[in-house]
A and B are shown apart, each in its own frame.
Chain A
């Protein structure tokens, strides 16, 4: 399933992401690499960004990017 469809408060595992090398790089730099577990903290209103927690850090992702991230239930 896509990251943007995960309800708030749930934890999921990243499977993969589509998109260019640049996106992959930035996501990995913040620790969001495939296999990692993340928790959805909140959604900004009006199609705004989504905030997730990874290794104790909170990271905001634009919807466009989050739509490219495939995740699975843990």
Chain B
């Protein structure tokens, strides 16, 4: 038995899923798309059932890939029952999706979630009447407190077992008549939808369905035109929106009959938004929230990292002493192995864990859409939308969670550009290079200049990329959800699933990469590597030996500083590098190729092609930026 959870964004569907899902829940993609769902096995009355959390959609109209995948999935035989999660505090808007779900005739129950919030807003809902009007079991629920969850799943289980299909919704008589005629025309058409639902989608003008049917039965075209015209003559305003309006009329009618609106209290949203979205205080608030976010994340990270480094140093020393301190191939490989393991650990524990937990909290509180609201106008000047600011901000800690956070963006273009740009943001590891080289030897003022130069390059790249990849989205249309206190379970689960992906997919590659580089080192490939990079180091006026630290820096960015000292034979850099060279090297390191872990995550999120694009782009930008920096530095030094 498999039960699908469906609902509009912000209806508390994920909270419900997290209440029942275990740590083993799996995130998957619908084949051939980037649309993701999460699935988990749940024990219910001695049975094991699969629960699938489908992406939140406002409708099933197929206006974006997520909606099309959801409707295909629901009508396939893979789902035995559907739980439609409804936000009781916004019933009439949510019911539009319910009505649409009734059309496709799958066994279904309603989880009337957020009863507490509705109560707080003075909304009283007659549950029995709602059940009668839509002909489905309705179970009141407060998912965040775990109330009503078990009865809901039991009903869904029963409905699924009996394959109890609801009646399709009844629209106006003229519409129903047209639908019957269309249904007659559609005999023998192959589709994942039943004829009645197919007729509705056809009348609605769903482009994919229409094309599919016209290919199978070309004569339906003229019929559809005539029927639409007839409806318009009868006074229906616009064929295209006809079904849409019928649904929302029906939803409004139901909501009006079952909802009793008492005195509405001022909600937390009204009060908080007055400050957090204020033209002045809003931005101060944004800066403060981000400050505390980074402060919290870094102190948590530092607290974890320090003992971790000590531990791995000990393990390394112990391993070396165990094999007798010889520097043969075996010990090199062993050290490479340990470094790979510790490298992955150094990303996961101090960065991924705190950043993803923090991101989860900001997400679930409902603050991220507010950031989009505040930053939309600024980001528009770069050719982007407000929400794209989030990956940037996270990028300053570590690029890996930054790339992961592009998932909050719906638009593919936006995800691609944001991912590309966030790889240019200097993460904490690259910060160590800026500090260790420029700030330490040439002064903090110059480090600040490099930072500002970095922001300038990012802004410029954003403008260029947003011109190259054309924006097809019309602009911001975004719901500002009610502020909610996130449940610990949801935040931890979400962070854990993302971290697990990294551990399973990126970590092994990091370890393999480490070992390969160790073998390189043993066979003294350095000389070849330096020659390989020589055209570049020559162009930038850097010593030939920077080839090795630059190549190893791809594995972990800190290495481009540590190994620079080894390569040049001195950690006292002014002895071996001129100030111009230090600046040029640092600027190049800030921009060139994202680290291996980031590359792997880009491939996972956006595909191999996007990964190679970004690698190429960053090499180009790094070279140009380093040349510019070199030119300026030569004037001043």
Contacts and interface: CB of A to CB of B under 8 A. Distances in A.
| Bound together | yes
Interface of A: 19-31, 33, 41-42, 44-49, 51, 54-65
29 contacts: A20-B474, A21-B240, A23-B474, A26-B474, A29-B58, A29-B61, A31-B92, A33-B248, A44-B373, A44-B374, A44-B376, A45-B279, A48-B374, A49-B376, A49-B377, A49-B476, A51-B273, A51-B277, A54-B93, A59-B478, A60-B369, A60-B372, A60-B376, A60-B476, A60-B480, A62-B474, A64-B474, A64-B475, A65-B477
Contacts of B376: 44, 48-49, 60, 62
Contact of B59 (A21, A29, A45, A64): A29
B294 to A, nearest CB: 24
Contacts of A27: 477
Contacts of A47: 377
* Majority SS at the chain A contact face: mixed
Nearest to A46: B377
B167 interface: no
Contacts of A49: 373, 376-377, 386, 476, 478
A37 to B, nearest CB: 12
Nearest to A68: B474
Given A49-B373, A65-B474, A25 B63 contact: yes
A28 B241 contact: yes
Interface residues of B, number: 35
Given A44-B277, A44-B373, A61 B90 contact: no
Contacts of B96: 31
A22 B386 CA distance: 20
B233 interface: no
B269 interface: yes
Contact of B377 (A24, A30, A45): A45
Interface string B75-106: 00000000000000110110010000000000
Interface string B454-487: 0000000000000000000011111110000000
A41 B372 CA distance: 16
Contacts of B163: none
Given A31-B248, A49-B386, A56 B121 contact: yes
B475 A48 contact: no
Contacts of B240: 21
B372 to A, nearest CB: 7
B160 to A, nearest CB: 28
Given A49-B478, A51-B273, 19 more contacts: A23-B474, A26-B63, A26-B477, A29-B61, A42-B277, A45-B377, A46-B377, A47-B377, A48-B374, A49-B386, A49-B476, A56-B121, A59-B479, A60-B479, A61-B476, A61-B477, A62-B475, A62-B476, A64-B474
A46 B475 contact: no
Contacts of A58: 269, 273, 479-480
Contacts of B369: 60
Contacts of B63: 22, 25-26, 29
Nearest to B472: A22
A55 B92 CA distance: 8
B363 interface: no
B378 interface: yes
Nearest to A59: B479
B131 interface: no
Contacts of A26: 63, 474, 477
Counting chain B CB atoms within 10 Å of each CB, which of A29, A31, A61, A62 scores highest?
A29
B245 interface: yes
A8 B63 CA distance: 31
Nearest to A35: B245
Contacts of B245: 33
A58 B255 CA distance: 19
A46 B376 CA distance: 10
A19 B479 contact: no
A42 B273 contact: yes
B273 A25 contact: no
Nearest to B8: A29
Contact of B479 (A41, A57, A65): A57
B480 A55 contact: no
A18 to B, nearest CB: 11
B157 to A, nearest CB: 31
Contacts of B380: 62
A62 B63 CA distance: 19
Nearest to A65: B475
A20 B240 CA distance: 12
B472 to A, nearest CB: 8
Contacts of B121: 56
B244 interface: yes
Nearest to A52: B480
A49 B475 CA distance: 9
A44 B248 CA distance: 30
B373 A22 contact: no
B378 A46 contact: yes
A33 to B, nearest CB: 6
B373 A60 contact: yes
| Interface pairs A-B: 5 shortest CB-CB | A62-B475, A29-B58, A48-B377, A62-B476, A58-B480
